[in-house]
Amino acid sequence: MDFPLNQEALSAIRLTLELAIMATGVLLILATPLAWWLSQTQSRWRAPISALVTLPLVLPPSVLGFYLLVAMGPHGPLGQLTQMLGWGVLSFTFTGLLIGSVIFSLPFAVQPMQHAFESMGSRPMEVAYTLGASPLDAFFSVALPLARPGILTAAILSFAHTVGEFGVVLMIGGNIPGKTRVISTQIYGHVEAMEYTQAHWLAGGMLLFSFGVLLALSMLRRRIDRVLP
C-alpha cells in the first residue's frame, strides 16, 4: 500500500509545526507583560484593552482574516509601511501567516497567564519588596515562577490553536504549496479534490493531536491541584 501522506502533505505538516512553534514563542513574549499589566492595573484602559485582546474569541475568523488581509495589502496601513521599508506586502507570505496567528491566538496566551497572576494575590510581591527586590527582580524571581502553570497552559493552548487554524490562514495566506499551505488548508484541498483517504489521515492526526492536548491540560490541572494547598 502506498504511503498515504505525500510530499505536499508532509510539507504542510512541517510548515504547520514551524508556524505553531514561532507563533507560540512570539505570543509568550508579548502576552506575558500584557497579562501582568491586565492583572495588576486599575487603569480605565483596562476594560477596553481586555476586550480588544479577547475579541478574536468571538469574532468570526473570516472577518478577522479579511481585515488583516486588507491591512497587509498594498493599500493597507501595514502594507504601505512594509513596502516603504522595502519588505514588500506580507499578505500571502509566511510572515503574514505568523502575524495573523499571533493576533488570532492572543487571548489563548493572555487569559491563562492573567488568571495565574491574579490567583497568586499581592502578598508574594509585597514580601519581595520588603526584602529589597526591585519590581523587575520581583517579577522574574517571584511572579513568573508562581505563574508557571498558567504560562505552560498558555503555551500549550497557543500551540494547539495555531495548529488548528483555518479561516484566518486561508484569508491571509491562501493555499500556496510550500509557502502558506498548512494542515487545515491541506485537508480542505483534499476534500475539494475528493481525495478522502488523504483527508482522513490528516484529519485523524489532527483529532488525535487535539485529544492529546486536552488530556495534557487535564493532567496538568490535576497535578497543580495536588501541589497547591
More confident: 227 or 160: 160
Give the model confidence (pLDDT) of 44-101 as tens digits.
Answer: 999 999 999 999 999 888 899 999 999 998 888 998 999 998 888 898 999 999 999 9
The mean predicted confidence, pLDDT, of the chain is 88
> What whole-number percentage of the chain has pLDDT above 90?
43
More confident: 96 or 8: 96
With H, G, I as helix, E, B as strand and everything else as coil, classify residue 17.
helix
Please give the radius of gyration of the chain, using alpha carbons only, rounded to the nearest integer: 20
The Cα 100–Cα 168 span in angstroms is 7
**Residue 1 confidence (pLDDT):** 41
- C-alpha grid cell, residue 152: 505552560
- C-alpha grid cell, residue 18: 514551524
Give the model confidence (pLDDT) of 118-160 as tens digits.
Answer: 998 888 888 888 888 888 898 999 999 999 889 988 998 999 8
Per-residue pLDDT band for 228 (boundaries 50, 70, 90) equals: low
- All structural domains of the chain, each given as residue ranges with its CATH number in brackets, are 23-40+53-227 (1.10.3720.10)
Q: Which residue has the cell 479579511?
A: 66
